[in-house]
């Protein structure tokens, strides 16, 4: 139901809206799953849990902590959908390149910051700067995937149009 409303609100019927309904639905589902994974299913602590030392998890991972390597990689993977879906949702004829990239990175940052702040306030999970960094990097890598897929799509579309013109 939330996905349906997101599609209706965020997807105007213009020539740039192709793919936006799927992106809006995908982001709605992603947001719900993100909430479940990062907040709802986390144990509640009696006091806020936080680690404010930047790169602490990377240092421990380099010293042999396999568990922290998994956590670091999962932080990247967790925000790939933001980097892929947000540009589809916000792209418009006048919004291209650097502006879409900047808005996508801001969306990733603010989403991650909201998650980390919620974990701190609700005493669920560990609020840490390393998670914020990993999530923003995940958004960056997701945006890279989006750009690659966009280029492949453009090449395929151009090839398809050439085939049709030859007939």
Whether 13 maps to a domain, the answer reads no
For residues 167 and 161, give the distance between their C-alpha atoms in angstroms, rounded to a whole number: 10
pLDDT of the residue at 94: 66
Whether 145 maps to a domain, the answer reads yes
The helix (run of H) or strand (run of E) holding residue 127 is strand 127-128
Residue among 98, 111, 104, 97 nearest 142 (CA): 104
Three-state SS at 9: helix
Whether 148 maps to a domain, the answer reads yes
Whether 22 maps to a domain, the answer reads no
Q: What is the token pair recorded at 164?
A: 């049709």
Whether 120 maps to a domain, the answer reads yes
Say if residues 108 and 138 touch (Cβ distance below 8 Å). yes
Residues 6 or more apart whose CB falls under 8 angstroms from that of 40 comprise: 124
Mean pLDDT per block of 10 residues along the chain (167 residues) reads 47 60 91 95 93 94 94 96 94 77 96 97 95 98 94 80 73
Residues 6 or more apart whose CB falls under 8 angstroms from that of 18 comprise: none
Whether 8 maps to a domain, the answer reads no
User: Does the global pTM surpass 0.95?
Assistant: no
Whether 135 maps to a domain, the answer reads yes
Residue among 29, 150, 161 nearest 100 (CA): 150
pLDDT of the residue at 16: 54
Domain range for 132: 48-166
Whether 43 maps to a domain, the answer reads no
User: How many structural domains is the chain composed of?
Assistant: 1
Provide DSSP, 56-103: HHHHHHHTT-HHHHHHHHHHHHHTHHHHHHHHHHH--SS--THHHHHH
pLDDT of the residue at 62: 95
């Amino acid at each position: 139901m939330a996905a349906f409303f997101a599609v209706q609100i965020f997807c105007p019927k213009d020539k740039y809206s192709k793919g936006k309904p799927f992106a809006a639905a995908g982001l709605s589902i992603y947001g719900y799953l993100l909430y479940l994974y990062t907040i709802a299913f986390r144990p509640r602590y009696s006091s806020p849990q936080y680690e404010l030392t930047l790169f602490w998890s990377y240092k421990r991972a380099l010293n042999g902590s396999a568990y922290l390597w998994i956590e670091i990689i999962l932080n990247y993977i967790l925000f790939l959908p933001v980097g892929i879906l947000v540009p589809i949702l916000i792209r418009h004829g006048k919004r291209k390149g650097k502006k879409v990239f900047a808005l996508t990175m801001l969306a990733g940052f603010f989403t991650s910051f909201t998650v980390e702040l919620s974990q701190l306030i609700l005493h669920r999970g560990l609020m840490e700067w390393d998670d914020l960094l990993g999530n923003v990097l995940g958004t960056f890598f997701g945006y890279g995937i989006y750009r690659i897929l966009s280029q492949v799509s453009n090449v395929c579309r151009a090839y398809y149009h050439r085939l049709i013109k030859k007939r």
